[in-house]
Chain A
Amino acid sequence: NAGVTQTPKFRILKIGQSMTLQCTQDMNHNYMYWYRQDPGMGLKLIYYSVGAGITDKGEVPNGYNVSRSTTEDFPLRLELAAPSQTSVYFCASSTGFGGNEQFFGPGTRLTVL
């Protein structure tokens, strides 16, 4: 199993550009998450999904959108990129909430200039 994969690994965007961060998991997990990690700040939840077609906002959803058309894929869309969105983005998946282990991807490092 590849686990959780993310593409691209790195990206530089100009202010106002848009992009999609891809996330795929092969563990048949229903629950998927997007986090951002700023230096020294821990992880903040952006969006999460409990299954195909069902998504909801986390703590910091502004400036982002998600979709979940399949169990495997959970892309994150950035519209009108801003310098405040410079961060490392992690996708994760799990079998449930609460104490269930979340499996993280390797991350995408995004810089907005």
Chain B
Amino acid sequence: QKEVEQDPGPLSVPEGAIVSLNCTYSNSAFQYFMWYRQYSRKGPELLMYTYSSGNKEDGRFTAQVDKSSKYISLFIRDSQPSDSATYLCAMSDSGGSNYKLTFGKGTLLTVNP
């Protein structure tokens, strides 16, 4: 079983739709959960960060972590064409392997005007 599983999509939605992106993981030591956004031919940039379980909201974006299910989600409300990008989940533990971010494969999202 891979440490982090992410449905690569691609996902195509109309403008204004609610988007749900998800990752599952197997390592119960993961404590830090991140979503990075990567535009075509650019480097990833941090979009959302959550420590341990719970929800975090930032504008149109909401990140959720359910450690009991080993499942994290990113919701995008009122999606815009400018949200078209690849979304990568990333996780790290707080122990001896905390130097390493483990990334999902990424989900390619296209928001159509």
Q: Which residues of A contact B (CB under 8 A)?
A: 4, 31, 40-45, 48, 50, 56, 58-59, 90, 92, 97-99, 101-107
Kindly supply a per-residue 1/0 record for chain B positions 1-34, scoring 1 wherever the CB is within 8 Å of any chain A CB and 0 otherwise.
0001010100000000000000000000001101
| Sample of 4 more A-B contacts, CB < 8 Å, known A45-B100, A98-B31, A99-B49 | A42-B105, A98-B92, A98-B94, A102-B101
Of residues 66 through 107 on chain B, the ones whose CB sits less than 8 Å from some CB of chain A are: 88, 92-94, 98-101, 103-106
A105 to B100, Cβ gap below 8 A? no
In the complex, which of the residues A40, A90, A105 contacts B105, with contact meaning CB atoms closer than 8 Å? A40
A45 to B101, Cβ gap below 8 A? yes
B33 CB, min distance to chain A CBs, angstroms = 8
Please, could you name 16 A-B residue pairs with CB atoms under 8 Å apart, sorted by A?
A42-B4, A43-B101, A48-B99, A56-B99, A58-B100, A97-B92, A98-B92, A99-B49, A99-B92, A101-B34, A102-B46, A103-B45, A104-B43, A104-B44, A106-B43, A107-B42
